[in-house]
Amino acid sequence: MTVDSLKIVVRGLTDPMFLLCEAELLLRVGLACILGWLIGNERKNRNKSAGTRTHAIVAFGSALAMVVSKYGFQDMPDYDAARVAAQVVSGVGFLGAGIIFVRNNLVNGLTTAAGLWATASVGLAMGSGLYVVGIAAAVLLILMQTITHRVAYLAKVASSGVIRLTLVQEADAVKNMRIYLEDSRVDVASVKIHKNKKEEVKLEFEVVYPPGFDKATLFSKLAEMPGVITISE
């Protein structure tokens, strides 16, 4: 840094208008952090992998990137004010990819990853000075996640699980049990078979239950079937 540049910085730090502008930019970042924390609080209450800290940091970083992108290169001719901020969208995609995973043919973490992406957009809005849009978007995001979780019809989603059975070893016992589960609208992803010397066969079905499925009724019916010795999840 040259002496002239240092003098400009010192003069700026003593200028009330400059300090007021800097404080306003800092306010944007701070508000984005608060909004991110509020969005993450809904995820935390549902025991999701990305909670308050992750969402707050994503919103904070997005807002900071927008502020730097929009105001940090004004001393350069023909600078692109959106160049740094544009990379936030793709950068958050890598973060979301670490949350999404597939288990028993079901995708998990997709809503949380999408929420992180939307939280980054809220941070960008706040960093650019769109206070009303940023705050309104955060409120709508929280309401959408809360309502779709609490309303029973909207909250119904497919779920995965394991059904462990001990059956009397007889002809077509495994085949018949699989047919029964599929007739009960339970998709069988895989099955593990363990035989022993007690004329019994132990089965582990990895299954996918349809949205709103009543597992208690299914287990009750399975327990009453002839040839079923034990049953558990």
Per the DSSP assignment, residues forming a β-bridge with 161 are: 207
Kindly report, residue by residue over 82-107, the tens digit of the pLDDT. Answer: 777 778 877 777 777 777 665 555 56
Range among 68-82, 119-133, 197-211 rated most confident: 119-133
Domains and CATH numbers, the chain: 3-155 (no CATH), 159-232 (3.30.70.260)
205/197 Cα distance (integer angstroms): 21
- What average pLDDT is seen over the chain? 78
Give CA separation, 176 vs 21, 183, 189, 233, in Å.
73, 10, 16, 19
Kindly report, residue by residue over 191-212, the tens digit of the pLDDT. Answer: 888 877 677 888 888 888 877 7
Q: What is the pLDDT of residue 215?
A: 82
85/65 Cα distance (integer angstroms): 6
Q: Are 219 and 226 in contact (CB under 8 A)?
A: no
What SS3 state is found at 18?
A: helix
Q: Are 207 and 161 in contact (CB under 8 A)?
A: yes
- Predicted confidence band of residue 67 (pLDDT cuts 50, 70, 90): confident
Tokens at 212, concatenated: 């709103």
What residues contact residue 110 under an 8 Å CB cut-off, 6+ apart?
100
